[in-house]
Amino acid sequence: MSIRKEDALEYHRRHPKGKVEISPTKPVSTQRDLSLAYSPGVAEPCIEIAENVDLVYEYTARENLVAVLTNGTAVLGLGNLGPEASKPVMEGKGVLFKKFAGIDVFDIEINAVTVEEFVAVAKALEPTFGGINIEDVKAPESFEIERRLVEELNIPVMHDDQHGTAIISAAALINGMLIAEKDFADIKVVCIGAGAAAIACANLYVEMGVKLENIYMYDSRGLIYEGRERVNKYKAKFAVHPGNIELEDVFEDADVMLGLSQGNVVSPEMLKKMADRPIVLALANPDPEITWDLAMEARPDAIMATGRSDFPNQVNNALGFPYIFRGALDVRATTINEAMKIASAKAIAELAHEPVPEDVMAAYETRDISFGREYLIPKPLDPRLITRISCAVAKAAMDSGVARKPIEDFDAYRIELQERIGPSQALTRKIIEKAQKDPKRVVFGDADTFKVLKAAQILREEGIAKPILLGNVDTIKELIEEHNLDLGDSPIIDPMKERATRIEYGKVLFEKRQRKGITLHDARKLMRERTYFGTMMVENGEADAFVSGITKNYPNALRPALHVIGRAPDTPVVAGMHIVRTKRGPFFFADTTVNKTPDAKDLAAIAKMVHDAVEQFNIEPRIAMLSYSNFGSNIDDETKRVIEATRILREEYPEMIVDGDIQANVAVSPAILNNNYNFSPLAGKKGANTFIFPNLMAGNIAYKMMNQLGEAEVIGPILLGMKKPVHILQLGSTVREIVNIAAIAVVNAQTHAKESRS
């Protein structure tokens, strides 16, 4: 995936600037709240902590707070940029900690060049944090800094650039060895690269049983051997060979190649010299030491991993560090020791042997993920990572005596871990991943606007969709040039200049609507409108989905789609659904855009469509048929509709989790449900996650208020019940909203294509 400079800069400077912010975790809306949060109430925990310093973990956020600490001397692959230039990377690391493991982060960039300065700053910060992640510090200083901090601090410290790669690659090596039927004590390892990550990998492999004398480590000057000059003490550990050996020669009968250097330094001829079933870990990024295709051509029996996401077996640090720190923090470990690192590597390796969940396979658009040469380690989207790795790390900390707060009930702990990271965070990512597996042609009816063109560029560059742009050709080209956009060879079509096509399309529309008040002349004239022209492209199979509406009100944008494409067979209504992403997970609202006052049968039909749509996201729908009353507490014409719709659903779909009539606050409160309405199928299931509103006014107001006041991200509207994929945007939709809807349209089109073939 290519990222344009302008896009990256705009992303980071968009308000609010940067990628992280601090939010209060307690209410501060009244004078009493303020008195509890600060003076005089804050004095009480201060006094308690002064008497027992361990209580800082009970009364403050320290237990869940990690410092991402750097001096900017080795920023990504960019070198010594200094502390200020490293800040975007450190903020990004904080985002990954939060998203994957629910860990809060302060990124701290310091002017500390020497080991002594860095260590002094880190030691002074210890009372603030539950752990420290060292990042982007150059070797060999990084080795000494980590060693000193591990010895001198009483909290977990890890240099992820070293140990993250070591742990994930070790997991791949464990499973590669199993497939190759080899033993750690017997293998010969060629290590190309001698930086922080390479040395950490080699050290961990030794801990796991590889013999030191069987490791041949190369830096930019060649093999590290006995007596070689200018070798630092960290490399010197691997100077165990009596003399120099050329890289081309050392591959003879080697079992493992570990690459952490630069792209294209290994030739096919080198691989051909390796032993049977060689394990090739070509981890340089973005270009591996040898490409997947070349390696497989040279050695079809090879077991290979890279650092890239577009090849099998991606060694990605995000598989490890969030969950390792999670487990270490939760037992208040005093360090992250070798036992914890090995435990995490083994947990990752073992997870790859288990059946892959349906939602993971769906995210990667395949049903063929199982342990083997092309699945050595789990996929980054696997939701089981947090429970497996964090539990393994916590247990290892307890067994090795570094846990100050042992976990007594691991079953309860697993549930707690799952609740920390709800499905909301992964939902959009899964949709986009699924769309990227088979991008479809999406027609944009408002392509002469900057936001649509910007979204189209993102969709094209990220391989989510193949945009088709409708509008005035000159205007679109001017906007592309003015904003320095790149739409490549995306078709630009002006319906006004497509007379022959309009005539053909008009005939099709006339045949559909001739008994519904439209003449042939009217039909041909309507084809000048982009909404009619674009939906007819989808109807005729010249495109796969249609997205429009950013410049029109919703009814006017929807009407052409209904005229041209129409409802799906046996579908009495179409409806609009919004996904509301919250900290508690995703919630689904319907109908929010189409039906003003649906009767009981239509309410039931809407609920069934929404149920099926939610299942496509691999989420179990728990449906609340909303009202202002609870289970018949008020009976009138309004509540009767909801009660009857619920009865229809229960009778026709007995397996569905649905109840009503029910108030919104009750539907989302497990406590109220369990204490007062334990007869409801929603009780004991964390409440509802899918809400069917009794009328359009209620649904539309609710999702808009959530969007503006509820600190929630709203995705939609998603149009349900159409024969082919059509989605109508709201006026003023943002670029991100357009991208999300287009990704959903692509996934809908994929499903439609599968159903058409079956």
Active site residues: 38, 93
CB 390 within 8 A of CB 97: no
Give φ, ψ of 579 to 5 degrees: -95, 125
Q: Max alpha carbon distance in the chain (Å)?
A: 94
- The SS3 assignment for 223 reads strand
Q: Is the N-terminal amide bond of 140 cis, ω within 30° of 0?
A: yes
Contacts of 5 (CB under 8 A, 6+ apart): none
Separation between Cα atoms, residue 575 and residue 573, nearest integer Å = 7
Separation between Cα atoms, residue 469 and residue 452, nearest integer Å = 9
Contacts of 720 (CB under 8 A, 6+ apart): 574, 575, 576, 577, 590, 606, 609, 610, 613
Amino acid at 596: K
Contacts of 664 (CB under 8 A, 6+ apart): 624, 626, 691, 702
CB 541 within 8 A of CB 550: no
CA distances, 734 to each of 452, 454, 664, 711 (Å): 9, 10, 28, 16
**HEC string of 517-562?**
CCCHHHHHHHCCCHHHHHHHHHHCCCCCEEEECCCCCHHHHHHHHH
Separation between Cα atoms, residue 84 and residue 620, nearest integer Å = 45
Bridge-partner residues for 667, per DSSP? none
Length of the chain: 758
Structure tokens belonging to residue 562: 């209904």
Pick the closest to residue 319 from 341, 348, 342 (CA basis).
348
Q: How far is CA 419 from the centre of its chain?
A: 16
Separation between Cα atoms, residue 458 and residue 451, nearest integer Å = 11
Structure tokens belonging to residue 449: 């606007």
CA distances, 581 to each of 670, 689, 716 (Å): 19, 11, 11
CB 477 within 8 A of CB 447: no
Q: Is the N-terminal amide bond of 286 cis, ω within 30° of 0?
A: yes
Count how many Cα atoms sit within 13 Å of the Cα of residue 756 in the half-sphere of its side chain.
12
